[in-house]
Structure formats: structure tokens, C-alpha cells
Chain A
Amino acid sequence: MAGFNKVVEHYDAAMAGLTDNMTIIAGGFGLCGIPEGLISQIRKMATTNLTVVSNNCGVDGFGLGLLLQQNQIKKMISSYVGENALFEQQLLSGELEVELTPQGTLAEKMRAGGAGIPAFYTATGFGTPVGEGKETRKFDGRDYIMEESITGDFAIVKAWKADKYGNCIYRHTAQNFNPMAATAGKVTVVEVEELVETGELNPSEIHTPGIYVDRVIVGKFEKRIECKIITPTTENI
């Protein structure tokens, strides 16, 4: 009896069931708070025609950029892309499709998807290319567009600490899209820095309750920094 124990030992088990043509929702902002080992596992599995919902698409050779190298991604749903040359190439050649979505709308699409809300109205994007072809409606004299929520076959999430029941805590700004992604997957897999005994985390401080989580795996993270800027101190001036 596994009960509520969500822990898996191997990456094969963590991503078991992922097949071609599936939609994956990924946490992370830039390279911050990305499930590095789960991305590597998807690369190893070589599944193709994936739709990936993620704010960004990594960089050349790191993060989701690794999946571009093997042409595994058919479509990206993102707010900001093009930090990598390969992305640009595949976009221009038509191998890759991109659906640009305002960042707040993207977060809300995941949140709503996980919360069983099929669509919502937002002022964001009204009167812009993003609003084209979408239903509009006026509330209190202001124009809004209807945006549909998103769910995925898989959600891949990076957390700082989790217990065996899948209760998760994120660290600093590595939180970003991870909590919403966690709610929006049919199968939600969390890769964590540290697994703790169930009961160790303070229930009041849990960001993602274990009910959303199907599998937990302990990973090793490189945590690459995209843009390292340092305040000069007296020593390094």
C-alpha cells in the first residue's frame, strides 16, 4: 500500500506515460525554478510533437532549449521567447509554432485550468493582436476579452522541499509559475531539492498541497543563472 506516498526513485517512473503529441505545462521563469532533471528525462524519452506551456523556452543547450535540439516541441505557448538561436531558426523554418500569450493571462490560464474554470474575462490584450478573434464583453463600461484556460497531460514542477505526501514549498523567486503548473496537469510531477519526512513541513507554510501532486522525485540542480549582475563592493571595485 503506497497510501499518499508519491515518491518515485527513478526518472523513468517520474515521467512514465508521457507519449507523443501530449501537452506539458512547465513551471519556471527563464532558467529560475525549472525542473532540470524532468526536462532531461523528456529529452531521453525522445517524445515528439509536444505542446509545451511555459513562460519561456530556456536557452541554447539548457532548460527547455534541450528539447528544441531534438525537435521534440511542435508548439510553445509562452509570453516571451527567443533567448535562444535555435528557437528562432525553428520558428522561421516553420518547424515550431508559437502562441504568444501575455504573462498574466498565461498564469491565469494555468490557475483557472487547475481550478476547473474553463475561461475568464480580462482587459489584458483587448484591442491588440492578442484579442483578435476572441469573444469580447463589456463590464461596467470596460472592454474585456475571453481567454480559455489551459490544462496539460503532464505538469512538470520544480520545488525546494517536499514531503512524501507531495506537499511542496518553493524557494524565493523560483516559485513563479510552479504553483499554477502543479494544479493544471492530469499527471503532476514535482522535482525537488530536498525530500523531508511527512510532518516536517509546517502545514501553514505549504505552497502546493499534495492533493495536486502525483509523483515526487529528488533531483540535482545546476541552477544556471541567466544574467548575473553584482553590486560592486569595496573589495571588488
Chain B
Amino acid sequence: MSLSREQIAMRVAQEFSDGDYVNLGIGIPTLAANYVNKDIEVMLQSENGLLGMGPYPTAEQVDADMINAGKETVTASTGASIFSSAESFAMIRGGHVDLTVLGAFEVDISGSIASWMIPGKLIKGMGGAMDLVAGARNIIVTMTHADKHGNSKLLDSCTLPLTGVNCINRIITDLAVIEVKEKAFHLKEKAPGVTVEEIKSKTAGKLIVAENIPDMVF
């Protein structure tokens, strides 16, 4: 069985280490904040200028001056700091953010990512995604393994305009955990109940499969 969005988010949360500063993109990455291991501390960075993003506010706490990068009302956690956009991106571009998790349309075996523009469709912009993929030390992509027509999103070479080149280390999909290195995808884990054959059939780019691929553990 392929994973649900929540299960992908749960698997993403296992990538967090104690003391990590983490930037989570909109969608599944944001959900991962709900599954952080209780024994570790991570601090969430929101690129509009907040380090230490807390939960959504109660009705009484709602404050128009307190939003996240998705423009949603939010709170600051204990130990948070608030700063300008230039400071925020100095953190990101300077490599101070330990981990970035974001969605994508395509990733290729070189670790290049396409996530912001589909030619022919209205382009809304890249926001902070290009800065994040150029700056974070460790970048994980979450996405479905194939699109709704069954076309693989893991390619030898991205076909869509890029967000960044040679920057993605890991991909967590509804079917598998994949490491990207040495111009190939390396299958590390598979979703429970999913066969290696299915993953192979849905991975268009070069895939290296070792013996005995373990199931993801939740």
C-alpha cells in the first residue's frame, strides 16, 4: 500500500535530529511538525522572519502581525526570535538551517529539482524555494512517486524549469525512501506492502537497489 500524506509526514519526522533548525515547506512537509519525536527538540524556521514557530493560535491569541510563510496566523514558541527577511535568508543562504523539507514536481539523479513552474500554466513565483534549496545543508523532497497519470517524478534529467541544481539528498515518497548520490537514485526503504518491482516500474531515472530493502517503520 502506498503511504497516506500523514504517513509520509511521519516518515519525514524521523529525519529530524535533536537540536535541528528545520524549514518545512507548505503541504506534507508542514504536517511533519505534528510527528516530531517527543524526546527531541527541533526549532522551525519560517522564512518570513520567525525562528521558533509554534502552533496555530487560539481565537484569543490571533494576531495579524504574527504569520508564517504560508501567510497563516501562527504563534512563536518559547525561545523564538523574529527578524527581517534579509536576516531570515542570511540564515538560509548562509547554510545555518540544518534541514529543509519541500515538495517538488520532479527530481533527477543529479539531485536537481523542479518545483515552481509548469510552462503554459500561470506562474505564481518561486517564493523562497530557490534560496532554500541553494542554502540548506540537507534537503529532503516529499512527493508522490508518480503523477496521477502514472508518470514517474524521479527522472534521469528534470524536464521542467529547475528550482535548483545538484542539491537534493533524499526523497521520501508514498512508496519509498530514496537517497540521491553518484548520479543515481538508491532505494533505502520501501513502504510496507509495496514491492521493489512496483518502485522500479515507477522510477524512470537510474535506480540502484541493494538486496534486502527494509520496510519503513512507523
Contacts and interface: CB of A to CB of B under 8 A. Distances in A.
Contacts of A179: 84, 86
B67 interface: yes
Nearest to B119: A129
A228 interface: yes
A82 B63 contact: no
B55 interface: yes
Interface in B79-109: 82-86, 88-89, 92-93
Interface string B4-34: 0000000000000000000000000000000
A176 to B, nearest CB: 5
B84 A29 contact: no
Nearest to A128: B162
A2 interface: no
A231 interface: yes
Contacts of B205: none
A227 interface: yes
Contacts, number: 171
A233 interface: yes
Given A126-B165, A127-B162, A174-B65, A233 B59 contact: yes
B64 A223 contact: yes
Categorize the interface residue count of chain B.
Answer: 35 or more
Nearest to A226: B71
A175 B49 CA distance: 8
A127 B135 CA distance: 14
A93 interface: no
B208 interface: no
Given A122-B134, A223-B64, A230-B58, A78 B125 contact: yes
A227 B88 CA distance: 21
B188 to A, nearest CB: 26
Given A33-B65, A103-B47, A231-B57, A123 B135 contact: yes
Given A29-B67, A104-B131, A130 B73 contact: no
B127 interface: yes
A32 B159 CA distance: 36
Interface string B98-142: 000000000000001000010000111111111100110000000
Nearest to B53: A173
Interface in A219-237: 223-231, 233, 236
B65 A32 contact: yes
A31 B72 CA distance: 11
Contacts of A231: 55-58
Contacts of A91: 122
B50 interface: yes
Contacts of A104: 47, 85, 88-89, 92-93, 128, 130-131, 135
A107 interface: yes
Chain A to chain B: the 9 pairs with minimum beta-carbon distance, closest first: A104-B89, A104-B131, A127-B165, A223-B64, A80-B125, A107-B85, A103-B128, A102-B130, A172-B65
11 contacts: A79-B125, A81-B125, A82-B124, A102-B126, A103-B47, A107-B85, A111-B86, A175-B84, A225-B64, A227-B71, A230-B62
Interface of A: 29-33, 55, 78-82, 88, 91-92, 100, 102-108, 110-111, 122-130, 160, 171-180, 207, 223-231, 233, 236
Given A128-B165, A173-B66, A223-B65, 10 more contacts: A29-B48, A104-B131, A107-B89, A127-B162, A171-B65, A172-B65, A176-B85, A180-B85, A227-B72, A228-B62
